């Protein structure tokens, strides 16, 4: 069957399901919509595929019990099909159009959303921001919207989380929520999720009273760990100090040592991640204390130097 | 990705959008529709002719959608039910919210402006208020740089290039700024290097207007941040190596096609399990399995300082295989940092 036939069948199916006031059985639908195979498995499979496509397009087909041998009937309820009136003023519509045109996020779904709202206007705009496009994002958003728990694999184990907020910062998307396994607030990097999240039943998540997603948010890799929290002092030379200041904030400054640089005091729960960050600053930064963290960095460097020599 | 199923869904989505527009406006020219819905005219005509055969049983003319397509325009009389906005899919809803939040987060956006008001309305329909937060970086010079772009002012800048680990002063004609993967970038014509260059705004140490207007126009064709095709293209006069791979330890995941600059060296490395993060972190030119379970990874390196930092982070999880002059790059990089520790200890 060609794709054109498919689109025609889908369009007719949608119009029939939307136009009917009572649920229609598959037999009635196959009579009303040209293009379905004769009675049997092939017809049911074809219908199931069409249902899936419509569902992926955001069109929900309601299944309801009906009298008679077929038992099940289908229709599209108007409240499932139409969106509540957003009542956007013309300037608000323009603002949304500009925003969608100015943000690059992979597939043009934002543009399609505007089509669907009937407020799409072509605008010329420079892209001014770039957001990563991850399949998990809409799923997590749905979980938050419907107050559903969400399950996904992360660092090799399955987490069950009551989701609170999705946050974009420093080029990454994070999910902040209450981890039911650890009984604590946790921050997860969405691109690090090892499986597509699965939503629980709507209403299955109830965040603890007074849950503060802003306070729970930890976006620094050295805070996304399981170790006990320690404080690490890092000296950064004047070349890199301005950037580090921008990254860590004034509150992290312990001491200014003029031409020697700036000492930052950093809370850390993942020393491996901190080492990676400090070494990413090259010879412009070094760990001052505590001694064991400093020794671990030097050990890493010595191993590197020796490794190369041993293999030469 | 282009299975028949996806294709049919995508075309249905577009067709419903076109029909909704026609239901409201009754007529439109083909080129208007083609631009608005980003579809080639031939496809548009095909879909509309097909839709003209759709309707309700018994599919007699009075039950079909009334759509007339001629060479230049479409006329349609469609039921008002097709004009009412449809519910968004979760993907669309999220994409719309995230885009709007991102633009509302651009420094200088009006918190009481039209976009913020639209966002409040979207929140009531699409989710919970405050469930999506977008924070963009705000380097100190961002406002000044943006102002220079808008006013087409030539500026002098001092720039710390992390790929070369050097600070240089340059006179540039700013073209535009954009945010990508957590950083703001400035695309500008650089008089020092005689071409369009990209600078990370947070690596600018200071700037001041020279008092002249810009004399080189950084067009959307040689800018990489436009909605046109330039973003995915490899325009030869844009040297992305200067800043993009030099300063960004990130991949091209967000649509930034990586094109090595002319000065880039191609480096082969063997990495073990502990170095796998490299594959996500930098633009990789090639990956192959090695017999011992490690991976051979090929990357482009524009600046030695950037490469040294990468090696330091990889530690013993990576080993350079070539070119020969970089075989002991890791040793040298490690020794240089060890020396820095030693100097600090004795001073």
Q: What is the pLDDT of residues B59-88, one digit of tens each?
A: 877 788 889 998 899 998 887 777 777 778
Give me chain B's average pLDDT, please: 78
A224 in a structural domain: no
Per-residue confidence band for B263, with pLDDT thresholds at 50, 70 and 90? low
Nearest to A163 by CA among A180, A181, A182, A144: A144
- Give the A:B interface size as CB pairs under 8 Å: 358
For A100, the 3-state DSSP assignment is helix
Burial profile A282-304: b = 16 or more Cβ within 10 angstroms, e = fewer = bbbbbbbeeeebbeebbebbeeb
Dist. CA B4–CA B11, nearest whole Å: 10
Residue A2 has a pLDDT of 43
Residue B251 has a pLDDT of 31
* Mean pLDDT of the B23-39 span: 88
The kind and range of the H/E element at A230 are strand A230-236
Q: Which residue of A has its CA nearest to B177?
A: A128
The kind and range of the H/E element at A16 are helix A3-19
Q: Are residues B322 and B284 in the same domain?
A: yes
- The Cα-based distances of A125 to A89, A99, B80, B92, B297 in angstroms read 21, 9, 32, 20, 37
Nearest to B127 by CA among A83, A77, A136: A83
B289 in a structural domain: yes
A11, A99, A106: residue with CB nearest B255:
A106
A225 in a structural domain: no
Q: Do B93 and A113 touch (CB under 8 A)?
A: yes
Give residue B101's domain range. Answer: 90-126
Q: Are residues B155 and B117 in the same domain?
A: no
Q: Are residues B219 and B271 in the same domain?
A: no
Q: What is the ipTM of this complex?
A: 0.73
B114 in a structural domain: yes
A129 touching B (Cβ < 8 Å): yes
Is the pLDDT at B231 greater than 50? The verdict is no
Q: Are residues A11 and A76 in the same domain?
A: yes
Per-residue confidence band for B230, with pLDDT thresholds at 50, 70 and 90? very low
Q: Are residues B111 and B76 in the same domain?
A: no
Partnered with residue A173 across adjacent β-strands are A168
Residue A1 has a pLDDT of 44
User: What DSSP character marks residue B231?
Assistant: G
Last residue of a domain, one of B48, B66, B82: B82
Q: Are residues A126 and A176 in the same domain?
A: no
Dist. CA A236–CA A260, nearest whole Å: 8
Q: Which regions of A107-194 does DSSP assign to beta strands (E)?
A: 129-130, 150-154, 157-169, 172-179, 184-189
Q: Are residues B232 and B184 in the same domain?
A: yes
Lowest mean pLDDT among A13-27, A174-188, B44-58, B107-121: B107-121
Per-residue confidence band for A281, with pLDDT thresholds at 50, 70 and 90? very high
Per-residue confidence band for B257, with pLDDT thresholds at 50, 70 and 90? very low
Hey, how many other C-beta atoms are within 10 angstroms of the C-beta on B265? Answer: 16
* pLDDT tens digits, one per residue of B298-318: 988 877 888 999 999 999 999
Residue A3 has a pLDDT of 43
Residues of B with CB below 8 A from A75's CB?
none
Distance from CA of A34 to the nearest CA of B (A): 9
Residues of B with CB below 8 A from A92's CB?
114-115, 117-118, 121
A280 touches B312 (CB < 8 A): yes
Distance from CA of A39 to the nearest CA of B (A): 19
First to last CA, chain A: 63
Q: Which residues contact B8 (CB under 8 A, 6 or more apart)?
A: A3, A6, A7, A10, A53
The kind and range of the H/E element at A15 are helix A3-19
A27 touching B (Cβ < 8 Å): no
Q: Which residue of A has its CA nearest to B203?
A: A243
Is the pLDDT at A177 greater than 70? The verdict is yes
A215 φ, ψ (degrees, to nearest 5): -70, -35
Last residue of a domain, one of A172, A193, A219: A219
B256 in a structural domain: no
Residue B238 has a pLDDT of 29
Is the pLDDT at A100 greater than 70? The verdict is yes
Last residue of a domain, one of B101, B126, B151: B126
Q: At what angle do helices A109-117 and A90-102 cross, to 10 degrees?
A: 160
Is the pLDDT at A308 greater than 60? The verdict is no
Specify the number of domains making up chain A.
Answer: 4
Give residue A73's domain range. Answer: 3-81
Residue A94 has a pLDDT of 81
Check residues B136 and A50 and name the one with the higher pLDDT: A50
Q: Are residues A111 and A68 in the same domain?
A: no
* Mean pLDDT of the A16-38 span: 91
Q: Do A103 and B316 touch (CB under 8 A)?
A: no
B125 touches A83 (CB < 8 A): yes
- The Cα-based distances of A312 to A213, B313, B324 in angstroms read 51, 21, 12
């Amino acid at each position: 069957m060609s794709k054109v036939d498919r689109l025609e069948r889908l369009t007719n199916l949608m119009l029939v399901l939307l136009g009917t006031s009572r649920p229609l059985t598959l037999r009635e639908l196959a009579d009303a919509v040209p293009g379905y195979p004769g009675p049997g498995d092939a017809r049911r499979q074809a219908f199931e595929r069409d249902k899936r496509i419509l569902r992926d397009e955001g069109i929900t087909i309601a299944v309801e019990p009906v009298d008679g041998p077929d038992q099940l009937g289908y229709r599209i309820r108007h409240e499932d099909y139409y969106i509540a009136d957003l009542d956007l003023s013309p300037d608000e519509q323009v603002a949304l159009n500009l925003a969608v045109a100015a943000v690059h996020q992979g597939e043009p779904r934002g543009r399609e959303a505007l089509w669907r709202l009937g407020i799409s206007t072509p605008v010329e705009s420079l892209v001014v921001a770039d957001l990563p496009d991850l399949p998990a994002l809409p799923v997590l958003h749905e979980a938050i919207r419907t107050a559903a728990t969400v399950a996904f694999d992360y660092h090799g184990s399955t987490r069950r989380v009551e989701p609170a907020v999705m946050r974009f910062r420093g080029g990454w998307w994070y999910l902040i929520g209450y981890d039911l396994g650890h009984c604590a607030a946790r921050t997860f990097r969405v691109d690090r999720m090892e499986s597509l999240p699965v939503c629980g039943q709507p209403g299955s998540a109830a965040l603890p009273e007074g849950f503060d997603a802003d306070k729970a948010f930890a976006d620094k890799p050295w805070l996304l760990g399981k170790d006990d929290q320690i404080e690490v002092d890092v000296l950064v030379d004047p070349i890199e100090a301005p950037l580090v200041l921008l990254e860590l904030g004034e509150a992290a400054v312990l001491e200014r040592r003029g031409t020697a640089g700036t000492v930052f005091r950093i809370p850390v729960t993942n020393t491996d991640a901190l080492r990676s960050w400090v070494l990413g600053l090259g010879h412009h930064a070094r760990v001052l204390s505590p001694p064991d963290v400093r020794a671990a960095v030097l050990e890493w460097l010595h191993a590197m130097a020796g490794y190369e020599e041993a293999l030469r | 990705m282009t299975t028949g199923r996806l294709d049919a869904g995508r075309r249905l989505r577009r067709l419903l959008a076109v029909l909704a527009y026609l239901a409201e406006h009754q007529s439109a020219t083909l080129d208007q529709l083609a631009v608005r819905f980003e579809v080639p005219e031939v496809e548009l005509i095909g879909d509309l002719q097909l839709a003209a055969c759709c309707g309700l049983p018994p599919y007699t003319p009075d039950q079909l959608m009334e759509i007339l397509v001629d060479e230049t325009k479409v006329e349609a009389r469609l039921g008002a039910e097709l004009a009412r906005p449809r519910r968004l899919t979760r993907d669309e809803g999220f994409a719309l919210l995230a885009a709007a939040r991102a633009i509302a987060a651009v420094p200088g956006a009006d918190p009481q402006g039209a976009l913020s008001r639209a966002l409040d309305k979207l929140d009531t329909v699409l989710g919970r208020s405050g469930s999506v937060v977008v924070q963009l970086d705000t380097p100190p010079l961002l406002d000044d740089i943006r102002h220079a772009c808008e006013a087409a002012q030539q500026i002098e800048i001092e720039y710390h290039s992390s790929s070369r680990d050097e600070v240089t002063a340059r006179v540039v004609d700013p073209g535009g700024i954009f945010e990508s993967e957590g950083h703001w970038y400035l695309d500008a014509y650089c008089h020092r290097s005689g071409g369009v260059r990209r600078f990370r705004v947070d690596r600018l140490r200071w700037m001041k207007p020279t008092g002249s207007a810009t004399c080189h126009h950084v067009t959307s064709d040689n800018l990489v941040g436009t909605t046109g095709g330039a973003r995915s293209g490899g325009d030869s006069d844009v040297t992305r190596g200067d800043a993009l791979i030099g300063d960004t330890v990130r991949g091209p995941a967000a649509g930034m096609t990586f094109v090595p600059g002319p000065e880039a060296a191609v480096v082969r490395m063997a990495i073990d399990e502990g170095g796998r993060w490299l594959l996500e972190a930098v633009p990789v030119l090639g990956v192959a399995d090695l017999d011992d379970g490690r991976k051979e990874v090929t990357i482009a390196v524009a600046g030695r300082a950037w490469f040294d930092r990468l090696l330091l982070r990889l530690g013993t999880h990576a080993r350079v295989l070539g070119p020969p002059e970089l075989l002991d790059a890791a040793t040298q990089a490690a020794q240089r940092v060890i020396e820095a520790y030693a100097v600090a200890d004795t001073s």
